[in-house]
């Protein structure tokens, strides 16, 4: 074997090591350090949905093409536990995008706030109040940190919610009741809830349980977007607003299974909760949802083990930025491939990484042959 051939194979071997150990940043996950206890947690997977620029309601798309789907179902007044039933219609979830990828605030092409608009109609149809619910089509979101940018309606008589859900006794809620807002007294409550067996035993009145807290926000949630965050950890749940921790719950209501993520906006006239229905159409807007989590899917766990070769490498684990509405890992170059980002540009970048790598190999081999 000539020295040129030997050199060629040495380069190929080096590149093989490169592809297996330093392919991209964040190969070993995404980390947070909790405000309570200063503990570090690492999550293996991500979902990032920039609703200011991502249209998930385009009728030409397949169901859940970008990981989300507007729901279509009715609930009787008895099931909804109010004087009116609820109707969730895909027509009430409307993507209102900004064409410029570098602009994240302002009006969308349809007017009004850019983002995913969730509408509750004032008109009652067949004793049903029409609202909107959009959920992830996968239910493998286990422990993780889940964040949403939300501007809440100022029309009284609705409930706006960002929540993690498996069933009615395994649920983590952040809920806004617009009838509770009082500008004169500077009172803007947010309701933090773990729906559990305890709440079921209380007739699903979570306010009678230990896993319910009402917190008065230091800002008006109807005038601008703010980030609301759930840290679902193995032994507790932490709630945040704009990166300030609001509450910690660590009782028996902490879920023990995986679930999905949902954003919703509804009313059923229940005097003890949503009140309403609203006297005019009400709109709550979602600008993004970011989820960094451990998947319950064995295939995703195997993928993580395959790609995470050296957790101690400088860029193997990426710290999740504090409240930053415009930062998405899926918009950054050299991010780890094989992630569920549901982001067009990231998918295109991921497909380009391997051709670029092989181009390096071919260029190197041509240089060696030409010696």
Q: What is the DSSP string of 70-109?
A: E--EEE-HHHHTSSSEEEE-GGGEEEE--S-TT--SSB-T
* pLDDT the model gives residue 343: 56
Rounded distance between C-alpha atoms, residue 207 and residue 195, angstroms? 10
- Identify the helix (H) or strand (E) that includes residue 354: helix 344-369
Question: Torsions phi, psi of 137, nearest 5?
Answer: -85, -15
* Strand 282-295, strand 45-50: pairing: antiparallel
CB burial of residue 30 (10 Å; 0-12, 13-18, 19+): buried
* pLDDT the model gives residue 344: 53
* pLDDT the model gives residue 341: 53
* pLDDT the model gives residue 209: 80
> Mean pLDDT in runs of 10 for the chain (371 residues)?
48 44 79 88 95 90 88 94 95 96 95 97 96 96 98 98 96 98 96 87 76 96 98 96 95 94 97 96 98 95 91 94 92 69 45 33 35 39
* pLDDT the model gives residue 52: 96
DSSP 164: E
Q: CB-based contacts of 186: which residues, under 8 Å, 6+ apart?
A: none
Identify whether the C-beta of residue 225 lies closer than 8 Å to the C-beta of residue 241. Answer: no
Half-sphere exposure of 172 (CA within 13 A, CB side): 34
Q: CB-based contacts of 80: which residues, under 8 Å, 6+ apart?
A: 86, 268, 270
* pLDDT the model gives residue 351: 31
* pLDDT the model gives residue 300: 93
Nearest to 82 by CA among 152, 134, 158: 158
* Strand 189-195, strand 170-177: pairing: antiparallel
Instruction: Tell me the CA end-to-end span of the chain in Å, nearest whole number.
Output: 15
Helix, strand, or coil (residue 331): helix
Omega before 277 cis (within 30°)?
yes
Please give the CATH number for the structural domain made up of 41-295: 2.60.120.200
pTM of the predicted structure, to 2 decimals: 0.86
- Show the tokens assigned to 315: 């860029």
* pLDDT the model gives residue 331: 86
* pLDDT the model gives residue 345: 44
* pLDDT the model gives residue 131: 98
Domain boundary assignment for the chain: 3-29+298-369, 41-295
Rounded distance between C-alpha atoms, residue 189 and residue 21, angstroms? 48
């Amino acid at each position: 074997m000539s020295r040129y051939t030997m050199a060629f194979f040495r380069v190929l071997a080096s590149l093989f090591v490169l592809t297996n150990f330093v392919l991209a940043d964040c190969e070993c996950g995404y980390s947070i350090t909790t405000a309570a206890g200063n503990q570090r947690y690492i999550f293996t997977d991500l979902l990032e949905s920039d609703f200011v620029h991502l249209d998930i309601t385009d009728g030409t798309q397949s169901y859940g093409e970008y990981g989300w789907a507007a729901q279509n179902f009715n609930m009787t007044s008895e099931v909804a536990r109010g004087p009116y039933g609820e109707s969730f219609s895909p027509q009430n979830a409307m993507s209102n995008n900004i064409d410029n990828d570098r602009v994240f605030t302002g009006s969308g092409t349809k007017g009004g706030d850019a983002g995913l608009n969730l509408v509750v109609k004032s008109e009652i149809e067949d004793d049903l109040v029409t609202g909107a619910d959009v959920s992830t089509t996968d239910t493998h979101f286990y422990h993780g940190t889940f964040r949403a940018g939300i501007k809440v309606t100022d029309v009284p008589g609705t409930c706006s919610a960002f929540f993690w859900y498996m069933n009615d006794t395994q649920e983590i809620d952040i809920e806004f009741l617009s009838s509770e807002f009082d500008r004169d007294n500077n009172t803007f409550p947010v309701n933090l809830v773990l729906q559990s067996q305890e709440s079921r035993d209380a007739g699903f009145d979570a306010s009678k349980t230990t896993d319910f807290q009402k917190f008065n926000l230091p800002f008006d949630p109807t005038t601008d977007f703010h980030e609301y965050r759930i840290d679902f950890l193995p032994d507790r749940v932490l709630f945040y607003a704009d990166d300030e921790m609001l509450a910690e719950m660590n009782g028996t209501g902490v879920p023990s299974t995986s679930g999905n993520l949902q954003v919703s906006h509804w009313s059923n006239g229940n005097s003890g909760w949503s009140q309403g229905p609203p006297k005019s159409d009400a709109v709550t807007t979602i600008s993004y949802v970011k989820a960094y989590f451990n998947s319950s899917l064995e295939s995703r766990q195997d993928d993580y083990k395959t790609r995470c070769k050296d957790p101690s490498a400088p860029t193997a684990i990426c710290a999740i930025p504090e409240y930053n509405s415009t930062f998405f890992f899926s918009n950054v170059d050299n991010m780890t491939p094989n992630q569920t980002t549901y982001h067009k540009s990231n998918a295109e970048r991921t497909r380009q990484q391997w051709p670029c790598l092989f181009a390096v190999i071919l260029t190197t081999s041509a240089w060696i042959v030409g010696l």
